[in-house]
Structure 1
Amino acid sequence: MSDHTHRQELGRFLRTRRLRLSPEEAGLPPNDFTKRRTKGLRREEVAALAGISLPWYTSLEQGKDINVSDQVLDSLARVFRLNREERHHLRVLADPRRLALIPENNVPEVSSSLGFLLNQMPLCPAYISDSRMNVLAWNSLAFAVFGPFGTMDSRERNIIWRLFILPDYRAMFVDWQTLTAALLGHFRVMYSQHLEDPWYAEFIAEMTEKSPEFAAMWEDYEVRCASRHPQTLAHPEAGLLNLSNLVMPVQDGSGQFLHVYTPDSDDGSIERLERLALQTKEAR
């Protein structure tokens, strides 16, 4: 793993947090902030608020090789008003040794027990993904709800790629913007834990080139680790489906995740999903 890569990512993270925080939000005394040429805080203001020197903070933001104490990290988290997930992200980037990386197999395989579990949920769409957010296996109802996932080496297996590149898939999600921001935040966490994997850099570069929306949202640097992403789908056959998505890490050292979608119990989503499941069964 390259420490330089982690330092560069740390600097990028600090810079985005500095630029998104206004002087007023940081509690600075009133001044004529309208004359500023750039948005957010200046580096010297961050240094003063955190109680550290300007050259030291500048070096940190530039990705230079310096040691960072927990006290300094706590001060920066306080200045930037980081939430719990962002604080964890900051600490991992500052010291990758804090993160116990999960070893992954070179060939992503879904265990037979997981495959069996998928097929025991006939009324809940469910699938298995890896740390790159590629779909590895799914049950029949997930196929009926989300459509074909393509071959193993296809980009159609990637959840992020599908949301930005496939027009018909994207059109199903009523609140596409909120869902995509949440998933990109989760993808950012996965990326920060696998900075040594060249796949991520290649994928991000490809997505940035193909989708201006991805480029803008990736630059915004959202960090989220939420295990639930409520989704409302305007399904072409089933109609409106309100689903809650529970994401559970598979505790077998594979780095895989189990995604289970449960329908809303009050708005008819259960009945509509049941009809879709029956249609799928009869079509076999």
Structure 2
Amino acid sequence: MNDEQKRQEIGQFLRSRRLRLTPQSAGLQHADFTRRRTKGLRREEVAALAGISLPWYTSLEQGRDINVSDEVLDSLARVLRLNGDERKHLYLLARPPRTASNQDSDQPIVSDSLKYLLDQMPSCPAYISDSKMNVLAWNPLASSVFGSFGTADSRECNMIWRMYMLPSYRTMFIGWEDLAGSLLGHFRAMYTRHIEDPWYTEFIEEMSEGSAEFAARWGNYEVGCISQLPRVIVHPRAGLLNLSTHLFPVHDSSCQFLNVFTPDLQDGSVERLATLAEESKSKQTVTI
């Protein structure tokens, strides 16, 4: 992604946050509502509240090449009522990493130590994912719970693709809408951190063409640093599984995450998950 595309991304984010605010929520109790053709704050209102000029803010939202100070970013975050994740996202857009991700094709995908770790968790579904939310390795129980992850050349190994393109996931996950939005917010944060990687642009275009719901949610610009919502599943063989989500970043240069799902200790999920674990004992840890 070139510099112009980065600036366009900042403009899209600011515009989405400006339009979700009402004058009342921004403290403009005496604003004129009769002449408004669109919802949300006007550009001049954001500029006035942030203490910057209208032409300057307009240029920023239109993706023009201008420098932004930390003070201005702080003011915009305050005026637009950004939460912690959104504030980090704004700073990442304005101050993108100077070095691109070094996760190249010739780099070992998953280390032997991580594969060994997956082997040591036969009672909890677990997998390793990357910054693109591709599942790179998993234990047998993860496959039993979430279904086959496909092969290296298949979109089935991508969690965003699975959430929006697999009809079975919509019925399997209780609270699918909240989970799908949370995962997409996490994906957007990863996209911001690796904004130079053309893989994201291609994938987003593909998903937008294949799923109207993905396209609408992507346009709404959901942002979240880490998705840790529980997975509440109606499993076709085990029944109800209430799983807590634990996401651990791997502290090396691989941009990988260990995802572990633990069952609720009170509602019978432990026993039901153990049933699936018995089925998967004979299987070996699968890697791509």
More helix by share: 1
Give the AA of the match of 2:103.
Answer: E
The superposition leaves residues 205-227 of structure 1 with CA deviations (integer Å, 9 ceiling, x where unpaired) of 11111111101111110110135
The superposition leaves residues 6-48 of structure 1 with CA deviations (integer Å, 9 ceiling, x where unpaired) of 2111111101000111111111023452542101010000001
CA distance in 2, matches of 1:183, 1:128: 15
CA distance 1:102–1:282, shift in 2 (3 Å): closer
1:5 matches 2:5: yes
Which residue is equivalent to 1:53? 53
Q: TM-score, normalised by structure 1?
A: 0.95
Given that 1:162 and 1:170 are in contact with CA atoms closer than 8 Å, whether structure 2 keeps it comes out as no
The superposition leaves residues 48-99 of structure 1 with CA deviations (integer Å, 9 ceiling, x where unpaired) of 11010000000000111111111111110000011111111111111214x7
Which residue is equivalent to 2:104? 105
Deviation of 1:105 (Å): 2.7
Give the AA of the match of 2:128.
Answer: I
Counterparts of 1:99-178 in structure 2, within 5 Å, are: 102-107=101-106, 109-178=109-178
CA distance in 1, matches of 2:227, 2:182: 10
Given that 1:127 and 1:135 are in contact with CA atoms closer than 8 Å, whether structure 2 keeps it comes out as yes
Q: How many residues align?
A: 283
CA distance in 2, matches of 1:212, 1:16: 18
* Runs of 4+ with >6 A deviation: none
Give the AA of the match of 1:5.
Answer: Q
Unmatched 5+ stretches in structure 2: none
CA distance in 2, matches of 1:283, 1:87: 44
Give the AA of the match of 2:17.
Answer: R
Given that 1:110 and 1:137 are in contact with CA atoms closer than 8 Å, whether structure 2 keeps it comes out as yes
Q: Secondary structure at the match of 1:104?
A: coil
CA distance in 2, matches of 1:28, 1:255: 43
Give the AA of the match of 1:115.
Answer: K
Deviation of 1:282 (Å): 5.8
CA distance in 1, matches of 2:23, 2:227: 33
Which residue is equivalent to 2:188? 188
Q: TM-score, normalised by structure 2?
A: 0.94
Percent of pairs with identical residues: 65
Which residue is equivalent to 1:261? 261
Given that 1:105 and 1:254 are in contact with CA atoms closer than 8 Å, whether structure 2 keeps it comes out as no
Unmatched 5+ stretches in structure 1: none
The superposition leaves residues 179-229 of structure 1 with CA deviations (integer Å, 9 ceiling, x where unpaired) of 011000000011111121111111111111111110111111011013522
Q: Secondary structure at the match of 2:233?
A: strand
Q: Secondary structure at the match of 1:162?
A: helix
Which residue is equivalent to 2:85? 85
Which residue is equivalent to 1:72? 72
Deviates more, 1:82-91 or 1:115-124: 82-91
Deviation of 1:104 (Å): 1.5
Q: RMSD across aligned C-alpha pairs, in angstroms? A: 1.6
Give the AA of the match of 1:83.
Answer: N
Q: Secondary structure at the match of 2:123?
A: coil
Deviates more, 1:205-214 or 1:102-111: 102-111
Deviates more, 1:105-114 or 1:142-151: 105-114
Q: Secondary structure at the match of 2:49?
A: helix
Counterparts of 1:200-279 in structure 2, within 5 Å, are: 200-279=200-279
